[in-house]
A and B are shown apart, each in its own frame.
Chain A
Amino acid sequence: MSYGDQYNKKIMDFFHKKTFSNKLSSRNALQATLTHNSCADKAFVQVVLGNDGLVQELHFDVNGCIVAVACANIFAEFALGKSAKELQAIEESVLIENEFGKAFQNSRRDCALLGSRCFTLCLKGRLQK
């Protein structure tokens, strides 16, 4: 991707989405924080699983670059309503790359996966990745 592609309409639309911006108040919410090793961008995730084991509610708060925020929203949209088993089967980078039709450069790939990695951390023990 060139730097222009990185900020195309689709990415910017996902960046601006507020669907998952409300913090969850449920006592059952699992939560995790993950910091990107090299750039110190941070993701905070909350997840509520239903009795059926499906992802019922989600909150993402990514303090980071546009790619990190946009891709966290992409992943969140995908994860909502899925079971741990379904999420386990998905390769997040493929999911995100399919969404854009192009691969991110290596340095941005880690940004793109920050949210989904935080999500995996949040469900540690329930999601065997």
Chain B
Amino acid sequence: MRKHFQSVKNKFNNSIVLFDNASTVQLPDVTIQAMTDFYYNENFPANGASYRLSEQSMAKIARCKEKVLQFLGTDDSRYQVIFCRNASDSVQAIANCFESRGEKLGDFFITNLEHNSVYKALRRLGRNKWMALVQLDVLNSSSQELLQKCEQGLEAAFLTMGSNIVGPVWDSDFKDLQACINNLILANTLVVIDSCQVIGHKKIDLNYLNPDMLFFSAHKFGGPNGIGALVVKNSCQFLPELKERLDVGSNAVAQIIGLEATIDFYNQNVDFQAIEQNTKTLVDSLVAFLKGFDFVELVTGRAGQVGQGSIVSFIPKGIPLHDFSWVLAENGVLTRSGTMCAELACKSLKIDGCVRISLFGYNNNDDLELFYKAFVKTVEFFKGKL
């Protein structure tokens, strides 16, 4: 997969290890090329201008919407795509729809591993006394318990597919999640799925999951910054209002074209099973390496799991998190540390923060070797200082 990412190679001639992919994934060559071509050769607005070239831009946006739906295993007979800036944009718009009702709402479910993009937007609704936010403990509940909790009728449920701190929240084929969604919908609860940490890592089948809405940000899987999508069921009561809120003004045509190119790239080059296998091999090696250091405390996810999915988080006991990441970066490995904009998840995990290694399909064994060396240098650097 790496051969398709010249941008990864260009960054300091392969001497930098990109282990901060849960924040932003680099762009495949075809995406950069598609956006560059658009700016050089077209850059016509998609706002209904009365000329053929503008219509071409509009047609490209419509085509990208179709591809997003195909990529998510569905089509326009069931869902519609509304482009937006990112996850926060989607959730704010949904929260505003609820707020505009101007009446007290029923309870909202969120998982206790939710990212700030969801948590903070909904907390605002709660603070304004529109509703109460109820946490679904996905860390300590069995599948059966989760299913039972999802039988109750709520106003809405916001469920993340993957945590940006501990990786997977549900079982690997999302049977748990699908069953929970099914129960919630049967109880007349509006279900919204956050797929940001899963898209690009695993195949998502929207027809199978069947939520009312699902959102993602393109920069989480090799698309451009500043573009995301909220995918909404045709039958959803909020669809017209969400279109009014998000689908107005000038479209980010270049970003949408970049997103389309990224999806084409996946369709042509990416085997999700191979990616998962590669990631698992790397993650297993990372976990084994880190377990060799007494001062390293691995952050565990659901049912005590460590190093599942594409994320390995740890606490270097005795070394401030940001300093650890900073020195690691000076030695060539980019990680992220702190709460990762997921204070609720950190609270649920009973940690103040951690250092996070997050992988993507282009990471390989060479990266691991560089990481091991950088890690040892970092530990050496702090020896005697702390």
Contact = CB atoms under 8 A, between A and B. Distances in A.
Taking residues whose C-beta sits less than 8 angstroms from the other chain, chain A's interface range is 10 to 19
Contacts of A7: 323, 327, 381, 385
A81 interface: no
Interface in A37-73: 39-41, 63-66, 69
A41 B377 CA distance: 25
Contact of B343 (A40, A64, A66): A40
Interface string B360-386: 000000000000000000000100010
B352 interface: yes
A103 interface: no
A63 B320 CA distance: 9
Interface string A1-28: 0010011000010000000000000000
Contacts of B320: 64-66, 69
A64 B322 contact: yes
A111 B353 CA distance: 16
A66 B353 contact: no
Contacts of B338: 39-41
A7 B327 CA distance: 10
A65 B323 contact: yes
Given A3-B330, A7-B385, A65 B352 contact: no
Contacts of B381: 7
A126 B338 CA distance: 32
B330 to A, nearest CB: 4
B189 interface: no
A40 B353 contact: yes
A40 B337 CA distance: 10
Interface string A59-101: 0000111100100000000000000000000000000000000
B322 A111 contact: yes
B326 interface: yes
Nearest to A11: B385
A33 to B, nearest CB: 14
A69 B343 CA distance: 21
Interface string B130-160: 0000000000000000000000000000000
A65 B385 contact: no
Given A7-B385, A40-B343, A41-B338, A63 B352 contact: yes
B339 A65 contact: no
Interface residues of B, number: 15
A69 B385 CA distance: 14
Contacts of A3: 326-327, 330
Contacts of A6: 326
A70 to B, nearest CB: 11
Interface centre among B323, B353, B385, by most chain A C-beta atoms within 10 angstroms, is B323
Nearest to B322: A65
Interface in B138-195: none
Contacts of A63: 352
A104 to B, nearest CB: 12
Given A12-B385, A63-B352, A41 B322 contact: yes
Nearest to A107: B326
Interface in B50-78: none
Given A7-B385, A39-B338, A40-B353, A65 B343 contact: no
Nearest to A6: B326
A23 B321 CA distance: 24
8 contacts: A3-B330, A7-B323, A40-B339, A41-B338, A65-B320, A65-B321, A65-B323, A69-B320
Closest CB pairs A-B (n = 9): A65-B322, A40-B339, A3-B330, A39-B338, A65-B320, A40-B338, A66-B323, A65-B323, A12-B385
Given A63-B352, A65-B323, 7 more contacts: A6-B326, A7-B327, A39-B338, A40-B339, A41-B322, A64-B322, A66-B320
